[in-house]
Each structure stands twice: as structure tokens, then as C-alpha cells.
Amino acid sequence: MATFHFGAKDAYRSQFQSKLRQSPFFWNLFYTVLEDNGDGWLQSPQEEAPMQSGINIVPLTITGDTISVDLKGLSNDSNAGWRACIVMVDQAGNEHYSDLFDSGERMTVSANGAVSAYLTVTGTPKDLYDINAFHKDNVSSYKTGTERQRYPYAVKLTGAQVQQSGGYSKGSGHIHANGGGWVADSASVADSVYVGPDAMVLGNATLTGNVRVEDHAIVANSVTASNQVIISGHAVVDGGGMIYDNGWVFGSVTLSGNALIGDSAVVSNSCKVSGNAKILQKAFLAEAVTVSDNAVIKGNAYLYGKGSYSGQAIVDGDYSNEQTKNSGVGFGWLDDYGWHDTEDGILAGYTFTEQTDTWAQDTYAATNALQQGAQWESQRTSANGVLSFDGADDYVMLDDTVIRSKDLQISLAALWKGGTAKQNLFWFGDETAYMAFTPCNENGVAELTITDGQTTEHLTASAPLVKGEWSKITIRIIDGKGTLLINGSQAASNRLSLTPLAVMSAARDDYAFLGKGMTDRNFKGAVDYMNFYFKEVEEPQLTYSGSEAVDNTDPGVSGIRGGRKRRRTVQYCGSGYDAEVSDPGWHAD
């Protein structure tokens, strides 16, 4: 499939190349770009992971004499299965295939004589499910239906790198002074616009105001972007082409306000995105779709025609339709049963009520969270259904799209067991630009820190979280005001110049961790729920009782390995003194 190696291979290849010349953004729609989650593995975006018999094609750039791939499946389903293959292509266009390999296996092939390579991964459950592509959501839900589930995976790759972009070429142009990216001579880009070093602005695009084109994003042809629009990740905005609007007219994409186009999304033809709307993940907008207000379009959604999505509508999964919606969440192909109610203001929510070992389920949409060691437990004191963290190496990888909002409210309940100061309950961003919360900082109090690498601001409480008991925590950063609530009472409040969206834009790596950070101080305790909203809403009406024994041991010293131990100083929150302990890191003598 990677090279159309069928009976009519030449015809398929010719048609595909013609399509890429006509609409280069089809490179985004056809190929899968794996994500680096900072743990040494490259993960399939969950919205792109193959369904049963579906195939991901990952284009590779050869960097060594051999290519090795380790495959790890990531699924809650015990029936899940995968088959992967490394495809090598020589100078003459001949394909050479590795043996098939499954989760838990490694494959190594020689790259001698190869000029291009691909990794293909297919979803192959052990027992095949009956599939009806026309099933509606009331028969087989996108979120829970066995025949519609996806099979995410991760790989370790040596001897090659994942190709980050394709389809477009620079042409005649110049380096943009603000950011170092490429701007075609035919484009109009204001000095105030940021174009990152790997980004491109092509054709006759016009960008003004504080627009940012980041990462590997591409803006091409008939596009007008203004205000605080952000195009990031591997997103492509490509305007133009003929559309039918009471007669055939030439289209042009218009982006304005705080619109965000991110991940591998594509916005084309004559679509309009405005307000705080977001087009994310692998969503594809074509023809004359309008998205405004706080609407979010994500998943593998395909929107076309004159569809209009506004208010707080969320479109996700395999949605494909032309509708007018201003609330709820929608899935499915032309599916009258695919639209469901949601909570007011919600971006994503995790209640952890269902037992899971790999993916914690998003309550309303399908932006699930990957459990990296965090264990589900049925009860901790009075809380039912929680995720527990050992303070050593347990954490959850959230999708960074839940953080990318100008205004944001985060509400969660955490039980902190105690231990060292400066543990990270959550950390969004990288080492330089991030938003992080600790139950107890070096001064012995709970604190939110938000920084873009130049400006650093805090919401600082007057006391730490209570050890061994559940604490309800709400953080609001809305209209320039930051507020920290702990157990319903205001613990801190002040003006903030930074927004979560600005911080994630400044971060080179868009990590979103629950239970850990970029330092070695991981959270020890449990989390009962975690919700993200784009506006101020009431906290969940939950109360807690009971307590657990406090555990002030440092999990980092529980398993000293051989070799020469280092010493480090750690501070135990509330202990009033520093203690010297053995560092788990070691050096052989």
C-alpha cells in the first residue's frame, strides 16, 4: 500500500502524484506522522491509529545502514493485534519488504541500495469483528463500539527518522526576519507575523497582525490570516480552488481572532475559522465550511459544503457531514444518531470511573489519555474510581490539545500522600515554557507556575495541600485573571499576562503530563477526576471524607542499584529541614 504495489501500480502512482501536484495537502491526509512523547517511543496519534484492517503509512528518512523498529501496542482491548512491515524502495523503484512483525517484536532490515523507506502498521485484532461501515452511533458507538475502535501503537526507531512534511516546495522566496521561516516572494507577511524556522508561507497568502506559523506548518495560496491566529504542528492551510456558492466562484480561506489550526489538520478552499475556534488533530475542512466561537473540530472529521459549527460544538472521531451545530459532540458518517449532549464549557474530561490499564477515557469526546504506569483503583477513601501514582515513574500522557486555549479552567481532585517538596501534580509544556502545579513548593505552599521562558508568573497559596486527604483544586486563567481555588476557597488570585495557549505556543515540545514534570519530582498520591473548560464554570459537586496514612518516604531511593551512589539534598514538605538521601542515579566505578 505504501507504494501502491498492486496490479495497476503505475496508474495508481500516476494518479497519486497528480493529486499531490494539484492539492499538495493530500500528503497530510495520506501519511501518518508519529508523535514524540519524550519517553524514547514515537506514538501513533490516537485519532489516526488504524481500525481493524486499516493501515498507517509512515514515511521515513533513511539515516543509517540498517533500519530497526520495535513495536509496542497500546490498547485496553485484550483482543487487540497489529502487523507491521518495513518497506524499502531502491533506485529503480523496486520494493523490498521485511517480514511482518507484531507488538513486542523488533524488525531489522538493511538499507543498502534503498532511496526511500516506509513503515506500515495494520490493525489486526486476534478475532476479527463483523464490520458494517454504515452502522450508526446508536448501533455501534464510535467511543465504545468494538468494530469502530482504533489500535494505537508506539515504535522505537533506529537508522531512520519520521519524515515531517511533504507535498510542498519552497520556490522563490526569502527567510522571514521574525522567526527564520520561509516566505514566498509572492506572499505578503507583516513584520509582526512569526514564521518559525521549519514553517512556510507560500503562494499569495496574506498574513497580518500577530499571526504565528509554527513548527512544520504550511500556509499556501489564497489565504488571509489576521489578529492572533496560530497555525502550528504539521497543519496546512491552503486556500483557493473553485467552489459552488450560488454559482462557481474562486475560494479563499479566512482565519481571524484567536483561531488555532494545529496538529495535522487541513483547512482548504474557502473555509472560514474565527473567534476561539480550533481545528485540530487530523480534521479536514473543505469547500465553504464556517467554524466560529469556541467550536472544536478534531479527530478524523471531514467537514464540507456550507456546514456551520459555532458556540461550543465539538466534532470528533469519524464525523463526516454538512450540518449546522452550536453545542454537543458529534461522531459518524451522515449519522443522525451521532450527536450527543455535553457539559457546559467542556474541552475534555476524565472521571476515571471505568477500569482501564492503557487509556483513560474522555467523558464526552474521544481525546483519551495514555496511562504510563498510573494504576486504576476502584476506591481510595471515599473516592470511587481513581488513578494512583507511586511518585517514582507513574504518570499519564494527556493530549496537548486540551491545554491549547486562551482561557482555561482546570478542575481536579487529588489526594497527596506527602514526601518531597516540588512534586509535579501536572506539567504542560517543556523545560523552558510550561504551566505546572505542585502541592508544596520549596517554601512549603501549593503553587501554580506559568512561564513562556521569558516571563514567569505564579498563583501561590498560603499553605500546602493537606497530606493524606482529597483536595479539590480549580485553576482559572480567564481574561487575564488567574485564580486558584482549593476545596472551594480562594487560595490565590492576581492578574496574569500569560495564557495557556501562549505558553504551549512558546514551548518547543508540547508535553502534557499528569503526575510528573520535566524535573525528577513526580507526584505521589491519586487523582479522582480532571476536567478542562474554555470558560469559568462551577466545580464538580463532589465531597470527600476519610484519610490515608501520610507517606513521607522518597520513592526515588527505594531501589538503589549497584555502583557508586551520588548524594543529593531533598526537602520534605512541612518537615522544616533538608535531608541528604541517596540518588537513584549511579555511576559505575
465 lies in the same domain as 494: yes
Rounded average pLDDT over 110-123: 97
Q: What's the pLDDT score for residue 94?
A: 92
157 lies in the same domain as 40: yes
CB neighbour list of residue 84: distance below 8 Å, 6 or more residues apart: 69, 71, 100, 101, 102, 107, 119, 120, 121, 122, 153, 155
Q: What's the pLDDT score for residue 581?
A: 36
Out of 117-121, 127-131, 289-293, which region has the weakest mean confidence (pLDDT)? 127-131
196 lies in the same domain as 276: yes
121 lies in the same domain as 58: yes
CA distances to 187, 297, 314, 346, 458 from 328, rounded to whole Å, are 38, 12, 6, 10, 34
292 lies in the same domain as 313: yes
Q: Is the pLDDT of residue 586 over 60?
A: no
CA atoms within 13 A on the CB side of 361: 13
Kindly provide the residue ranges of all beta strands, DSSP E only, lying in 91-138, ordered along the sequence.
95-97, 106-110, 114-123
Asked if residue 538 belongs to a domain, the reply is no
Q: What's the pLDDT score for residue 572?
A: 65
Q: What's the pLDDT score for residue 555?
A: 62
pLDDT over 90, % of the chain: 84
99 lies in the same domain as 230: no
How confident is the model over 532-549, as pLDDT tens digits? 999 999 999 999 999 999
C-alpha cell at 514: 499528569
Confidence of residue 13 (pLDDT cuts 50, 70, 90): confident
Confidence of residue 132 (pLDDT cuts 50, 70, 90): confident
The pTM score is: 0.93
Rounded average pLDDT over 108-137: 93
Asked if residue 262 belongs to a domain, the reply is yes
How confident is the model over 393-436, as pLDDT tens digits? 999 999 999 999 999 999 999 999 999 999 999 999 999 999 99
Q: What's the pLDDT score for residue 520?
A: 78
453 lies in the same domain as 510: yes
Asked if residue 17 belongs to a domain, the reply is no
Q: Which domain does 491 fall in, by range?
A: 346-533
Q: Is the pLDDT of residue 568 over 60?
A: no
Rounded average pLDDT over 66-95: 96
What is the Cα–Cα distance from 409 to 413, expressed in whole angstroms?
Answer: 14
Asked if residue 413 belongs to a domain, the reply is yes
Domain boundary (281, 316, 340) is at 340
Q: What's the pLDDT score for residue 7?
A: 81
Out of 65-74, 413-422, 551-560, which region has the weakest mean confidence (pLDDT)? 551-560
C-alpha cell at 53: 484492517
77 lies in the same domain as 97: yes
The CATH number covering residue 153 comes to: 2.60.120.380
Asked if residue 25 belongs to a domain, the reply is no
Q: What's the pLDDT score for residue 368?
A: 97
Rounded average pLDDT over 2-8: 83
The CATH number covering residue 323 comes to: 2.160.10.10
Q: What's the pLDDT score for residue 307?
A: 97
288 lies in the same domain as 355: no
Q: Most confidently modeled of 20-29, 132-141, 551-560, 567-576?
A: 20-29
**Position 53: which residue type?**
S
Q: Is the pLDDT of residue 120 over 60?
A: yes
What is the Cα–Cα distance from 154 to 290, expressed in whole angstroms?
Answer: 35
Q: Is the pLDDT of residue 569 over 80?
A: no
Rounded average pLDDT over 506-518: 95
Q: What's the pLDDT score for residue 207?
A: 98
- How many independent structural domains does the chain possess? 4
Cβ-contact 123, 82 below 8 angstroms = yes
Strand partners, 416: 525
Confidence of residue 574 (pLDDT cuts 50, 70, 90): low
Q: Is the pLDDT of residue 300 over 60?
A: yes
Which is nearest to 560 in space by CA: 584, 580, 581?
584
Alpha helices in 49-192 (DSSP H): none
Beta strands 524-533 and 383-390 are antiparallel
What is the per-residue DSSP string for 241-254? Answer: SEEESSSEEE--EE
Domain boundary (323, 340, 357) is at 340
274 lies in the same domain as 326: yes
Out of 189-193, 283-287, 453-457, 576-580, which region has the weakest mean confidence (pLDDT)? 576-580
Cβ-contact 195, 189 below 8 angstroms = yes
158 lies in the same domain as 185: no
The more confident residue out of 577 and 524 is 524
Q: Is the pLDDT of residue 221 over 70?
A: yes
Asked if residue 151 belongs to a domain, the reply is yes
Asked if residue 407 belongs to a domain, the reply is yes
CA atoms within 13 A on the CB side of 568: 16
How confident is the model over 460-491, as pLDDT tens digits? 999 999 999 999 999 999 999 999 999 999 99
Q: What's the pLDDT score for residue 230?
A: 98
The CATH number covering residue 372 comes to: 2.60.120.200
Q: What's the pLDDT score for residue 334?
A: 93
Q: Is the pLDDT of residue 567 over 70?
A: no
Cβ-contact 498, 455 below 8 angstroms = yes
* Average confidence score pLDDT of the chain: 92
Q: For the chain, how big is the Rg over CA atoms in Å?
A: 24
Confidence of residue 576 (pLDDT cuts 50, 70, 90): very low
Q: Is the pLDDT of residue 167 over 50?
A: yes
What is the Cα–Cα distance from 376 to 75, expressed in whole angstroms?
Answer: 15
Q: Is the pLDDT of residue 62 over 90?
A: yes
504 lies in the same domain as 571: no
Q: What's the pLDDT score for residue 355?
A: 96
Q: Is the pLDDT of residue 347 over 60?
A: yes
What is the Cα–Cα distance from 243 to 253, expressed in whole angstroms?
Answer: 12
Q: What's the pLDDT score for residue 570?
A: 54
Rounded average pLDDT over 27-47: 94
Q: Is the pLDDT of residue 564 over 70?
A: no
Q: Is the pLDDT of residue 332 over 80?
A: yes
Q: What's the pLDDT score for residue 81?
A: 97
Asked if residue 99 belongs to a domain, the reply is yes
Beta strands 324-325 and 188-189 are unpaired
